[in-house]
Each structure stands twice: as structure tokens, then as C-alpha cells.
């Protein structure tokens, strides 16, 4: 049997620190000698080994130490004279300095949650809250409570690009656009959804919210002193997405990486789209004309939402799809479509001088950041992140509404989605017949649609329909059906149908 020597004498397993009671605290010379002996043991008790500790004994009032617990780990310890039964010195956990530090730390934590950082931009970034699988229910509960007082929702999505083009015969540009959206949304998964809430005056929720004024009291939300809720104004929902098993466009993924997307976390902690759809449909944010959805170039945005809400592939025809959009989102406005409408008013000379000046300064620029810069809207967060883009979309909308439309957006702008068709309702039978006749004749320059849009244009190589990708579709003529099939959607690894990566290969 090995000798019982070592750092401390004895080997009482039921009370391994019993021998420490033999060192009374008032024997200071002995303590100093003991301290010198223990300097070689930095792993435990190196700071100040003057102890009167019995961790497992019954007399807990004797739990005292000149070094504190931290001092035993080689540091200055939690305090120089601490007693769990009362304060025994000027410093330590119970001392005034420690109390001040704890209060300061608590204030810093609350300020961070409220977005009151020393750096103004960093503090505003705190108003954008990331939502993952773990806090999904809590945040949707808060949104359910807020939507009555903040019924305007600006939104943006991030998705893995465009990987396919439809093949077949299309009677109009409108039909081609919808089938492009349909085949890509059915093939791909949404990565992020950002939403920002606004009141009817265009104000976002306050950073510290008193829930007593809400019609619905959120149950799962953390509250601070005086029942205050730390409230963001923007939410970024992060969905399950795997670079190993999900399809994507490489350039789109690289852009999202540069913007800070965490694909490892998306794969492990991302939200299940089906679960999100079931919660969103009962949240009070959809299925009601009292809520207004605002977007920018929204053809793909609403398509991904409809896919999650319905848990089905998109309808085969555009008319059925529009009916679903109307059911889920009775009120929606597209900022880019509003910009186009305003330009039409300028050409007709029926808009104010301020609006004319703004639109003329923009010229042909029509991107979200272009409009934001001209209207004096500040971006919060990084571009190409759904939360930041959603917030900027809403800010641009309210400035556009005030400076261009004199605080009154025309009613016929409701339901128009840029990037889906580029025109309003589906083409009529007469319009389709005219398009087909012109197509057979060749060299069609364009056909004026019912709302002034260009319904169809014969594309030259290197030009093509508008899609949210940096590459043109590159279609001179779409290939016809093969083997008697029509309306076929087929992704291709390269060529005029776009590029994609599957399984990271």
C-alpha cells in the first residue's frame, strides 16, 4: 500500500479537507510558512492557502478563506476576506467594489440587449435579432403580440440563387417568368427570411417595450425590471440548409458567405421550414387584410413563403399561384413596382416637382441601395443579409410613400410583384394570340400589355428575362418539348439553363 504522503496529509475520502481545520486563521506566521510551501503547486491553492475550509462538513459557518475560491486556481481569488455567512472584510463578494462591479456588469448586459451601446451603429445592430430553432417559438410569440400595433411588415429573403430554366413553349413573357420562379423555388430551399415591423406612422417598435399596452401578452418572452421586454424591430429567421445535400448556385453561396452567413450553424441549428410555416400561418401575420407586407423585387420572396405556408410545390399555372398569394397576403406592396409606377407618372407629367427631381437623379438605377441613397435612408447591418435588407426595404418604402406619393399609395399597386411577371394580371387570350402571331413572324420588338408593361420581347443572345442572378438567362429561343412532353422543368449543370452545384460537387 503506497504511503499516505503528498500535498496534504491523510486520505479521508469522506472528508478530504478535514485536516484544514487544524490551521486556525489567527496563526499568521504559520500561514505565511504554509503559503511559501504551496507556491510550487500553482494548480490548486497557489494564490493564498490560508484556509479554514470544510466543504463537506456540517458547520458551514466556518467556510472562510483569505484567498477565496479563485485564489486556489492561481489567481487573486473572488475576494480577500469572504465569509458565506457574512462579510468579514472591506473587499470581496460582499464589499462595495464588488457590488459596484456586479451592478456595472448587469447594466452593460441590459444596455446591450436594449441596443444602447457606446457605438451607435453597433447598438442599432442589436435591434436585429437572429432566430434559430431554439428561440423560434419565443420570437413568433412576440411577433403575434406586436402585429396589432405594428401592422406593416417589410421583408426580404435570401435563397441559393437560380439553378434552372424552364423548357417548353411559353405564350408570353409573363408565363416564362412564373415558370422560372416555380421550377427554382420547387427545387431549392430558403436560407433566410428577414422581417421588420412598422406602425401605421412608419415607426418601428421601441427597444424596451411595456407589454401591458399590448392586446396579446407574450408568454415565452424574457422580461426585465418593471416587466420591460427587450424588443428588436427586425427578425432574421435562419433555416436549415446543408451545403452537402442541398442544391445551390455557387456564386450566390459565395455572396452569402461574404455577408456573414454561417452555413455550419444553418445545417445544425436552422429552422425547419415546415414548422415555421405552421407557426406563421397561425401567427396573425398572414391571412388578414389588416396586415400589409412590403417587399422589393418580390417574385421569389413570396413564392418561398407560399411554399412554406402551403407545404406543397407551387401551382402549375400563374393564376392559381396569384390566388394563393391573395389568400395568404391580401395586402402587399412591392417597392420596385412603386418606383416603376412613379416613373410612369413622371413621363406623363402628373407628379410633383420633388418626386420628379428624385426620380430624375436616379435615372436608370433601380436597386434597393440606389433608392436608399437617393432618399437618404441609412442601412443598418450588412447588405445581402435578410434582416438588414428587410429593414432597409421598409425604410425606403416610407420615404418613397412620403416624398413621391404624398403619403398615399394608389390602391391598384396592391398585389403587384416585380420579378414574377413584370406585368399585372396574366395575359388575356387576345394578347396571347397576338404574341404567338408575332413570334411566328419573328423579330417582335415588344407588345404593350394592359398596364403599360412590355409583355414579350424576342431576346438576343446574352439578353433575357429579369431574374435575381448576375447572369442573363441567355435564351434566344427556349427549347421545345421533347418526346411529347410539355412544360418541363429541367436543371442543367451548365449552358443556357444556368449553373448549379449539387451535393457540393
The pLDDT of 189-215, averaged and rounded, is 95
The pLDDT tens digits for 66-93 are 444 444 444 444 444 444 444 445 556 6
Q: What is the pLDDT of residue 173?
A: 85
Q: What is the pLDDT of residue 254?
A: 97
Q: What is the pLDDT of residue 85?
A: 41
Higher pLDDT, 495 or 264: 264
Q: What is the pLDDT of residue 155?
A: 98
21-44 burial string, b = 16+ CB within 10 Å, else e? Answer: eeeeeeeeeebeebbeebeeeeee
Pairing of strands 86-87, 292-295: unpaired
CA 128 to chain centre: 8
pLDDT at 271 over 90: yes
Share the mean pLDDT of the chain: 74
Using 50, 70 and 90 to split pLDDT, how confident is the model at 170?
confident
pLDDT at 454 over 60: no
DSSP H/E element including 276: helix 273-280
Phi, psi (5° rounding) for residue 153? -120, 110
Q: What is the pLDDT of residue 263?
A: 98
Higher pLDDT, 446 or 335: 335
Q: What is the pLDDT of residue 390?
A: 98
Q: Taking phi first (over 0 means left), then psi (-120 to 50 degrees means alpha), and beta for anything else, what does residue 320 get?
A: alpha
Q: List all residues 6 or more positions away from 27 whose beta carbon is below 8 Å from its beta carbon.
A: none
pLDDT at 360 over 60: yes
The pTM of the full predicted model, rounded to 2 decimals, is 0.65
Is residue 329 within 8 Å of 285, Cβ to Cβ? no
C-alpha cell at 419: 420579378
pLDDT at 312 over 50: yes
Q: What is the pLDDT of residue 471?
A: 39
Q: What is the pLDDT of residue 343?
A: 94
d(CA 294, CA 153): 6
DSSP secondary structure of 123-174: HHHTTEEEE-GGGHHHHHHHHHHHTTT--EEEEEEE-----EEEES--SSHH
Using 50, 70 and 90 to split pLDDT, how confident is the model at 198?
very high
Selection from 374, 419, 331, 325 nearest residue 154 by Cα: 331
Q: What is the pLDDT of residue 238?
A: 98
Amino acid at each position: 500500500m503506497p504511503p499516505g504522503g503528498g500535498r496534504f496529509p491523510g486520505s479521508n475520502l469522506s472528508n478530504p479537507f478535514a485536516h484544514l481545520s487544524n490551521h486556525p486563521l489567527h496563526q499568521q506566521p504559520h500561514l505565511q510558512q504554509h503559503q511559501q510551501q504551496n507556491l510550487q503547486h500553482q494548480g490548486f491553492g497557489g494564490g493564498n492557502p490560508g484556509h479554514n475550509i470544510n466543504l463537506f462538513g456540517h458547520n458551514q459557518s466556518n467556510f472562510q478563506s483569505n484567498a477565496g475560491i479563485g485564489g486556489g486556481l492561481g489567481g487573486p481569488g473572488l475576494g480577500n476576506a469572504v465569509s458565506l455567512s457574512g462579510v468579514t472584510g472591506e473587499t470581496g463578494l460582499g464589499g462595495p467594489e464588488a457590488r459596484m462591479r456586479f451592478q456595472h456588469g448587469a447594466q452593460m448586459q441590459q444596455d446591450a440587449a436594449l441596443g444602447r451601446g457606446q457605438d451607435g451603429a453597433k447598438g442599432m445592430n442589436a435591434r436585429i435579432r437572429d432566430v434559430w430553432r431554439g428561440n423560434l417559438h419565443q420570437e413568433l410569440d412576440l411577433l403575434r403580440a406586436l402585429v396589432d400595433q405594428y401592422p406593416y411588415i417589410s421583408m426580404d429573403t435570401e435563397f441559393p440563387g437560380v439553378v434552372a430554366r424552364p423548357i417548353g413553349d411559353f405564350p408570353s413573357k409573363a408565363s416564362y417568368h412564373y415558370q422560372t420562379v416555380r421550377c427554382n423555388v420547387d427545387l431549392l430551399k430558403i436560407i433566410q427570411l428577414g422581417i421588420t415591423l412598422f406602425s401605421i406612422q412608419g415607426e418601428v417598435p421601441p427597444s424596451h417595450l411595456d407589454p401591458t399596452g399590448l392586446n396579446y401578452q407574450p408568454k415565452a418572452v424574457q422580461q426585465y425590471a418593471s416587466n420591460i421586454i427587450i424588443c428588436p424591430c427586425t427578425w432574421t429567421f435562419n433555416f436549415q440548409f446543408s451545403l452537402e445535400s442541398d442544391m445551390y448556385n455557387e456564386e450566390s453561396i459565395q455572396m452569402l458567405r461574404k455577408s456573414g452567413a454561417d452555413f455550419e450553424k444553418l445545417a445544425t441549428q436552422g429552422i425547419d421550414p415546415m414548422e415555421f410555416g405552421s407557426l406563421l400561418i397561425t401567427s396573425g401575420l398572414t391571412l388578414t387584410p389588416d396586415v400589409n407586407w412590403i417587399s422589393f423585387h418580390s417574385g421569389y420572396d413570396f413564392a418561398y413563403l407560399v411554399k412554406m405556408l402551403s407545404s406543397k410545390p407551387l401551382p402549375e399555372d400563374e393564376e392559381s399561384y396569384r390566388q394563393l398569394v391573395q389568400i395568404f397576403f391580401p395586402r402587399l406592396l412591392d417597392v420596385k413596382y412603386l418606383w416603376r409606377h412613379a416613373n410612369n407618372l413622371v413621363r406623363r407629367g402628373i407628379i410633383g416637382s420633388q418626386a420628379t427631381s428624385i426620380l430624375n437623379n436616379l435615372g436608370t438605377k433601380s436597386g434597393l441601395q440606389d433608392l436608399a441613397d437617393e432618399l437618404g435612408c441609412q442601412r443598418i447591418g450588412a447588405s445581402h443579409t435578410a434582416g438588414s435588407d428587410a429593414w432597409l426595404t421598409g425604410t425606403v418604402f416610407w420615404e418613397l410613400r412620403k416624398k413621391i406619393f404624398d403619403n398615399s399609395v394608389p390602391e391598384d399597386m396592391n398585389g403587384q410583384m416585380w420579378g414574377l411577371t413584370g406585368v399585372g394580371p396574366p395575359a388575356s387570350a387576345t394578347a396571347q394570340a397576338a404574341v404567338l402571331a408575332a413570334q411566328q413572324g419573328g423579330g417582335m420588338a415588344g407588345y404593350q400589355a394592359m398596364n403599360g408593361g412590355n409583355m414579350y420581347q424576342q431576346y438576343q443572345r446574352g439578353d433575357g428575362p429579369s431574374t435575381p442572378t448576375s447572369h442573363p438567362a441567355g435564351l434566344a429561343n427556349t427549347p421545345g418539348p421533347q418526346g411529347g412532353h410539355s412544360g418541363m422543368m429541367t436543371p442543367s449543370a451548365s449552358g443556357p439553363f444556368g449553373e448549379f452545384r449539387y451535393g457540393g460537387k
